Amino acid sequence: MSFARAFDPLLDLVFPPRCPLCGAGISTHGGLCAACWGDLAIPGEPSCRTCSRPFPADIPNGALCAPCLGDPPRHDGIAAATLYNDASRKLVLALKHGNRISHARLMARLIGAKLDFVDETRLIVPVPLHRWRIWRRGYNQAAELARELARITGGKLVVDLLERRKPTPSLGGLGKAARRRALSGAIAVRRGRKAAMKQARIILVDDVLTSGATSEACVSCLKRSGASKVVIACFARVLDEALELANQAE
C-alpha cells in the first residue's frame, strides 16, 4: 500500500465519499453512484471504423459513416468516453467552470478505457486555451484531463506542445466555413517543440467534442508539423443521433 493510500480511511471519515453528480453516499472517492453511472451514455458498437460514430444495430461494425465518406478526416480515430447528455454535461461544467479539478481523474479513467494500447512513446497533448482565458479561469480543463490520462496510461504528457495564438469566438451557431475562418492561424506548434514532432504519435485531449472544428485545426497543425498519427480523446462527444439510439436501446 502506498503512503498516500494509507490515509484513505481517515479521509473517508472526515470527508465521506459522495457522488459528484447527485451527492449520494458511495464507497470510495472518485467514483459515481450506481444510478449516475447508469445515466452516462457510453458509446459502443457497431461504429464507424474511422471516427467510432455509433451505428444502428443493423449496420455492420467497421463500416464508414456518411460524414467520413463525404469528408475524410485527417485524424486517426476518436476515443470518446461518453456521449454528451445531462449526466456528462454536469461533470464537464463542474470541471470547466466550477473549479472541480478533482473530477479530471474520474473523467480521464473513462477516456483511457476507450483508448488502445498507450505507452511512453505516445505524446499526450491537450487542446490549448488562449492565455487570456487561462488567466480568467485559472487552468485549462483539457490540460487537467491530459495530465491525469498520462498518469493513468504511462503516455508522455506534453502540455505546452500546442499554443493558441489568438482568442477565438464561440463557434456555436457558426457554419463550417465560418468556424474554419475563426480558427485560421489560431493554433500552432510551439517553436521549441517542433523538433519532437517528427513521426510523433499523439493523443489529442479535450473535454467535449462538438463540431470538431477546434480538434480538426489541432490535428491539421500537428500533421503539418510531422506527426504520423493523431487520435482525438475526449470525455463527451456531441452526437444527438447516436444519443437517440442509445436511449432507444435502454
Structural domains of the chain in order of their starting residue, each with its CATH number:
1-39 (no CATH), 45-249 (3.40.50)
pLDDT at 246: 64
pLDDT at position 103: 92
Enter the pTM of the model. Answer: 0.89
Mean pLDDT in order along the chain per 10 residues (250 residues): 45 68 81 92 92 91 92 95 96 91 94 91 94 90 97 95 85 73 86 86 96 92 95 95 68
What integer pLDDT is reported at residue 202 of this predicted model?
A: 97
Output the pLDDT for position 172. Answer: 66
* DSSP tag of 45: S
pLDDT at 178: 80
pLDDT for res 5: 46
Which residues in 127-158 are b (16+ Cβ under 10 Å) and which e? bbbbeeeeeeeeebbbbbbbbbbbebbebbbb
Strand ranges (DSSP E) for the chain?
A: 78-83, 122-126, 156-157, 162-164, 187-189, 201-209, 229-237
- The per-residue pLDDT for 185 is 82
Measured torsion, CA atoms of residues 61, 112, 212, 22, in degrees rounded to the nearest 10: 100
Question: Shortest CA distance to 84 belongs to which of 129, 39, 115, 128?
Answer: 39
What's the rounded Cα separation, in Å, for the pair 142 and 234? 9
pLDDT, position 14: 52
- pLDDT of 209 reads 95
Grid coordinates given for 14: 472526515
My answer on whether omega of the bond before 46 falls inside 30° of 0, hence cis, is yes
